[in-house]
Structure 1
Amino acid sequence: RVSASPAHAFDVFTSGLGRWWPLDHGIGKTPRKAMVMETRLGGCWYELAQDGSRTDIGKIIVWEPPKRFVMSWDINSRWQPDTTVSSEVEVRFVPEGANATRVELEHRKFEQMGAEAGEKMRKDVDGGWPGLLEHFKQHAEGA
């Protein structure tokens, strides 16, 4: 739960991704200088490295501000970019009272990676998303 309106929470999560996502949390081979989300249907979500290189994470496949968005997660179980085994991340922003929002994140479709690889990725992301959502919450409530 975030003490912010759904519109504000949605904006911080998407347009403000680079302000709350920790730069030490990524997959690129070189140090990151930014996390970027192109806030539109078909937009990309990627890491921008200090050397100017870009590592794509996925694409926006559903865009319904300020209620929800869905993005592909084009990363395999070895944490390498791979569009052949995409999973999905859906983030929903549910109003709760006058100025509060329940943020629901569902990472799904791991079966496309195969049983063993899919289960590895599920365990990995289940351990990562809670910390990332806490970073988001702190920024959304303080921004």
Structure 2
Amino acid sequence: MKSGLLLVLASLLAASPAAAEVKSSSGNGFEVESRIDTALPPAALYRAFGDLPRWWSGDHSYSGKAANLSLELKPGGCWCESLPNGGGVEHMRVAYVEPGKRLVLTGSLGPLLAEATTGVMQVAIEPTAAGSSLVLNYRAAGFANGGAGKLAPLVDQVLAIQAKRLAAYAEDLAIRR
């Protein structure tokens, strides 16, 4: 299943431009970062980030349905996914919350879940003259079958796609305001 998931990720990403940046990578880990600017004020962008089913692509989930995703914006909160027959996935756990400003989540996304890795995602939101910006920084380290650095471009592209989707959702919300 792991190699199948990687093939699906690679094929989905082939036509998707990367808006994120691989900041560093090695055989044992990597760091990627995406940034979006929106017309939403920081508190509204923070709430929008927590509304995963509205912007995260079901193509990048285990169930294939974004509606099965949830994120509790509180310490200990789960970025979880419901699966059929009572199953589920804990993608990440909320470790730090500063509403409207900063979130820190821990866990392994996608194919990293089945590897001996762990990750930290920091979501920083800052006010701008036009609304607010969000910087999503994800760092993962561990064994990853000895090839974490090879996964960096794939994770970078997946998070870039999601950041663009969040930006589009935020702009939709800003228009409705």
| TM-score of the aligned structures, taking structure 2 as reference length | 0.68
2:58 — aligned with what?
23
SS of corresponding position for 1:95 = strand
Q: Distance in 2 between matches of 1:9 and 1:83?
A: 32
Q: Distance in 1 between matches of 2:95 and 2:116?
A: 16
1:117 — aligned with what?
147
Is the deviation greater in 65-74 or in 115-124?
115-124
Greater helix share, structure number: 2
- Contact 1:60 1:71 (8 Å CA) reproduced: yes
2:162 — aligned with what?
132
Q: Distance in 1 between matches of 2:151 and 2:120?
A: 12
How big is the shift at 1:24? 1.7
Q: Percent identity?
A: 22
Q: Distance in 2 between matches of 1:49 and 1:18?
A: 14
1:28-79: per-residue Cα shift (whole Å, max 9, x none)? 2x44342110121011111223544211101011111110101112247xx1
Letter paired with 1:49: L
Larger radius of gyration: 2
CA distance 1:25–1:60, change in 2 (3 Å): same
Q: Distance in 1 between matches of 2:125 and 2:85?
A: 35
1:41 — aligned with what?
75
2:91 — aligned with what?
57
Query: What is the CA RMSD across the aligned residues, in angstroms?
Result: 2.2
| TM-score of the aligned structures, taking structure 1 as reference length | 0.83
1:100 — aligned with what?
131
- Contact 2:115 2:143 (8 Å CA) reproduced: no
1:81 — aligned with what?
113
CA distance 1:140–1:40, change in 2 (3 Å): same
- Contact 1:75 1:85 (8 Å CA) reproduced: no
Letter paired with 1:62: Y
**How many equivalent residue pairs?**
136
Letter paired with 1:125: V
- Contact 1:55 1:81 (8 Å CA) reproduced: no
Q: Distance in 2 between matches of 1:113 and 1:12?
A: 33
| Corresponding position: 1:6 with 2:42 | yes
Query: What are structure 2's unaligned runs of at least 5 residues?
Result: 1-36
Query: What are structure 1's unaligned runs of at least 5 residues?
Result: none
